[in-house]
């Protein structure tokens, strides 16, 4: 029986993936009907659970994204989830005001947070709302605004860099097109995120307004229409209002954190391997063992203060110190490997050959003991002649690198092209 149910669910999922555009249109229409059509409490419970699941799924996706462009549809997803959450709040508000019952999840959230004290429950809800609205949402909105501005300002320079690499045959035409497409996609993503953060900001404000409507309207309806006492109406509608607010604010808080994680992400592609944010945080936090050891010493200092929980701080100090020592032990073999690579030259005069570097096109080599005045005069003469050739023929000649080596005779200098000697001369010959 269970296998049959799983097979049916797999078939439904595959069919939905093949017709994703139909599913998207159906979702939008269903959200609109949720706003105007009364829903049964059982269906509302299912939709609330789906809303929480979507929020958890999105924040897990943000944790495992290699870079923001890997989730370029996030602004559209943010709009749809905001619509769905607001439609769900409207449905629960309708049930609270009409039936004094918004489902088991709303009541369970309200009773769990209130815990027998309405004032405590209301304060906790307000704290969650303020944290979401003033801290996470405002910060993410500002980061999105600045990120969009800087991305648009940097576009001309990045496009010129792609064009110059293409002209220098450093990249192919296909790779240049791919980079331009990614650049265009990046600018559109950050521009869309700048606007999409307004949805999150407005959703937080709407949540506060809906809570006020539920509480004031519910108490008024309970006293006037249902003949309830003010205390009973306050007890009933406050619990339902807090539960309704929490099932809206907790997913909204998760979505806000998701937005902040995506737009504040700085992908590290220096090593050529794209890692998720969890791995990058772990690698960067554990990259400085001395910081962990200093933190352990600081915790021991707090443990020595009178009145402090000594056991807690000592335990944390032991953990930090052990972590720092473990990182030092892991870093020691790496340092030995790096030191083994740079082997000292042998005592018989044979030295390791220098690795060929294609970036060293033209090099002028001199002996360190050579008179600097003669070197400067020679370099100045070479540059003047090169500038005259540039003016005369219109060709941009490459510059050269100045290098001092010990194995040259004191009066000799050498001109190298890709590490191959092309000219040997002495200063006595130049005079």
Query: How far apart are the C-alpha atoms of 76 and 410, rounded to whole Å?
Result: 70
Beta sheet of 412-417, edge-to-edge order: 401-404, 362-366, 412-417, 420-426
Query: How far apart are the C-alpha atoms of 168 and 10, rounded to whole Å?
Result: 51
End-to-end CA distance of the chain: 100
Residue 170: inside a domain: no
* Tally of domains in the chain: 3
What is residue 379's predicted lDDT score, i.e. its pLDDT?
78
Mean pLDDT across the chain, nearest whole number? 78
Nearest to 47 by CA among 111, 90, 100, 79: 90
Token digits for 82?
């905001």
Phi/psi class of residue 423: alpha, beta or left (left: φ > 0; alpha: ψ in -120 to 50)?
Answer: beta
Does residue 108 share a domain with residue 227? yes
Does residue 108 share a domain with residue 67? yes
Residue 31: inside a domain: no
Residue 223: inside a domain: yes
Residue 109: inside a domain: yes
Mark which of 213, 231, 266 sits at the end of a domain. 266
Residue range(s) defining the domain that contains residue 50 = 38-147+188-266
pLDDT digits (tens, 9 = 90+) for 117-136: 777 777 887 888 888 777 78
> For residue 422, what is the domain's CATH number?
3.40.30.60
What is residue 223's predicted lDDT score, i.e. its pLDDT?
84
Report residue 352's pLDDT band, with 50, 70 and 90 as the boundaries.
Answer: very low
Report residue 357's pLDDT band, with 50, 70 and 90 as the boundaries.
Answer: low
Query: How far apart are the C-alpha atoms of 151 and 168, rounded to whole Å?
Result: 25
Residue 159: inside a domain: no
Q: How do 362-366 and 412-417 pair as beta strands? A: antiparallel
Residue 169: inside a domain: no
What is residue 296's predicted lDDT score, i.e. its pLDDT?
92
Nearest to 101 by CA among 31, 38, 34: 38
Does residue 139 share a domain with residue 50? yes
What is residue 350's predicted lDDT score, i.e. its pLDDT?
44
Does residue 302 share a domain with residue 260? no
- Check pLDDT > 80 for residue 335: no
* Cα distances (angstroms) measured from residue 202 to each of 28, 137, 199, 423: 19, 10, 5, 72
Does residue 387 share a domain with residue 245? no
Among 15-29, 80-94, 406-420, name the one with the lowest average pLDDT. 15-29
413: three-class secondary structure by DSSP: strand
Burial (CB count <10 Å: 0-12, 13-18, 19+), residue 247: buried
Return the axis-axis angle of helices 2-18 and 20-36, rounded to nearest 10°. 100
Does residue 207 share a domain with residue 95? yes
What is residue 300's predicted lDDT score, i.e. its pLDDT?
92
Residue 246: inside a domain: yes
Return the DSSP state at 69: G
Residue 95: inside a domain: yes
Does residue 368 share a domain with residue 292? no
- Check pLDDT > 70 for residue 240: yes
Does residue 394 share a domain with residue 251? no
What is residue 11's predicted lDDT score, i.e. its pLDDT?
60
Range 290-297, long-range pairs (CB < 8 A, 24+ positions) = 290/324, 291/324, 292/320, 292/321, 292/323, 292/324, 292/327, 293/320, 293/321, 293/324, 293/325, 295/320, 295/324, 296/320, 296/321, 296/324
Does residue 79 share a domain with residue 52? yes
Does residue 192 share a domain with residue 93? yes
Among 58-62, 79-83, 253-257, 274-278, name the one with the lowest average pLDDT. 274-278
Does residue 393 share a domain with residue 248? no
Report the pLDDT averaged over residues 318-322: 91
Does residue 45 share a domain with residue 94? yes
Higher pLDDT, 334 or 25: 25
Report residue 298's pLDDT band, with 50, 70 and 90 as the boundaries.
Answer: very high
DSSP letters along 339-357, please? HHHSPPPPTTS--PPPPP-
């Amino acid at each position: 029986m269970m296998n049959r149910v799983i097979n049916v669910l797999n078939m439904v999922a595959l069919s939905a993936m093949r017709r994703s555009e139909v599913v998207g249109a159906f979702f939008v229409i269903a959200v609109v009907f949720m706003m105007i059509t009364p829903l049964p409490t059982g269906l509302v419970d299912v939709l609330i659970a789906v809303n929480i699941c979507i929020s958890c799924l999105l924040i897990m996706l943000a944790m495992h994204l290699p870079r923001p462009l890997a989730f370029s549809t996030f602004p559209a997803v943010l709009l749809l989830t905001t619509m769905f959450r607001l439609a769900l709040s409207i449905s629960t508000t309708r049930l609270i005001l009409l039936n004094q019952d918004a489902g088991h999840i709303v009541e369970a959230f309200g009773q769990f947070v209130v815990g027998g004290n309405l004032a405590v429950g209301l304060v906790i809800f307000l704290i969650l709302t303020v944290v979401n609205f003033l801290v996470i949402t405002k910060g993410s909105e500002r980061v999105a605004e600045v990120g969009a501005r800087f991305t648009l300002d940097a576009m001309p320079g990045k496009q010129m860099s792609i064009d110059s690499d293409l002209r220098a045959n450093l990249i192919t035409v296909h790779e240049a097109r791919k980079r331009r497409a990614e650049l265009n996609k990046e600018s559109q993503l950050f521009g869309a995120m700048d606007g999409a953060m307004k949805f999150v900001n407005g959703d937080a404000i709407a949540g506060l307004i809906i809570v006020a409507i539920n509480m004031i309207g519910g108490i008024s309806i309970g006293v006037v229409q249902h003949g309830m006492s003010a205390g009973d109406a306050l007890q009933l509608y406050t619990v339902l209002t807090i539960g309704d607010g929490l099932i809206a604010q907790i997913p909204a808080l998760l979505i806000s954190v998701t937005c902040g994680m995506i737009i504040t992400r700085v992908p590290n592609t220096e090593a050529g391997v794209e890692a998720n944010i969890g791995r990058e945080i772990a690698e960067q936090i554990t990259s400085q063992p001395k910081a962990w050891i200093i933190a352990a010493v600081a915790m021991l200092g707090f443990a020595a203060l009178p009145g402090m929980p000594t056991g807690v701080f000592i335990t944390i100090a032991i953990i930090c110190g052990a972590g720092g020592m473990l990182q030092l032990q892991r870093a020691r073999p790496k340092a030995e490997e790096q030191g083994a690579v740079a082997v000292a030259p042998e005592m018989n005069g044979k030295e390791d050959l220098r690795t060929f570097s294609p970036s060293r096109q033209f090099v002028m080599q001199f002996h360190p003991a050579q008179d600097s005045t003669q070197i400067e005069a020679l370099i100045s003469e070479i540059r003047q002649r090169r500038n005259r050739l540039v003016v005369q023929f219109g060709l941009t000649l490459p510059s050269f690198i100045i290098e001092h080596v010990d194995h040259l005779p004191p009066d000799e200098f050498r001109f190298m092209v890709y590490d191959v000697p092309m000219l040997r001369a002495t200063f006595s010959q130049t005079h």
